[in-house]
A and B are shown apart, each in its own frame.
Chain A
Amino acid sequence: KQEVTQIPAALSVPEGENLVLNCSFTDSAIYNLQWFRQDPGKGLTSLLLIQSSQREQTSGRLNASLDKSSGRSTLYIAASQPGDSATYLCAVDAGGTSYGKLTFGQGTILTVHP
């Protein structure tokens, strides 16, 4: 059974810092990996999707990398801002008979203080 772990569980940084969030998964046979953002009391917003054949994806100040063989992904946030404060979740799609069904990590709560 696929398990997804996110480290750290919480992170507090001053504005302007570059930071890295980590996601690891136990079964490397994945179809893709996604990063989401969740604001308090809200739904999830999709940030980046990395296919299993890709090494990284970029969107603005966000960069996500994928090392399938080692079962790891990182989300890099450059020049953090208070508006980046949220919970960040990674999720893997195993594909095959599990196609489209996501297994989520428990998230990293990020606080960026002015």
Chain B
Amino acid sequence: DAGITQSPRHKVTETGTPVTLRCHQTENHRYMYWYRQDPGHGLRLIHYSYGVKDTDKGEVSDGYSVSRSKTEDFLLTLESATSSQTSVYFCAISEVPGRYGYTFGSGTRLTVV
């Protein structure tokens, strides 16, 4: 989607290796989110950010960390990837949640082997 890009789009990694996913926005929106999407579970919130250096945990945060040193970038790190973290990861941004809705990125498909 225009204004939000995720990288990489696809990644295969080995169990135990660290992995970092990047979300980059050009909309200058304050709020950024990381979700994962799995069959049978739908989308679940991992972490979110409400400003530079301001982050908090979501529903399924174990095994993940995030950082936001600039408004435009929100990084999701899997410290030591496990097979249960194989998923599709979506980043979302919002200017004012609940008033203007959200814009989602196209997703990163991560496979941990």
Contact = CB atoms under 8 A, between A and B. Distances in A.
The answer to whether A and B belong to the same complex is yes
Q: State the main secondary structure of chain B at its contact with A.
A: strand
A51 B96 CA distance: 13
A44 interface: yes
B104 A99 contact: no
Contact of A107 (B42, B58, B104): B42
Interface in B30-76: 31, 33, 40-45, 48, 50, 58
B106 A93 contact: no
Contacts of A93: 97-98
What's the interface size class on B, roughly?
20 to 34
A101 interface: yes
B25 interface: no
Closest 6 CB pairs of A and B: A100-B97, A43-B104, A44-B104, A106-B42, A104-B43, A46-B101
Interface residues of A, number: 24
9 contacts: A43-B106, A44-B43, A46-B104, A49-B98, A51-B98, A99-B98, A100-B33, A102-B43, A106-B42
Given A34-B101, A100-B94, 16 more contacts: A41-B107, A44-B90, A44-B102, A44-B104, A46-B102, A46-B104, A89-B42, A100-B48, A101-B33, A101-B48, A101-B58, A102-B43, A102-B45, A104-B42, A106-B41, A106-B42
Interface of A: 31-32, 34, 36, 41-46, 49, 51, 89, 91, 93, 95, 99-102, 104-107
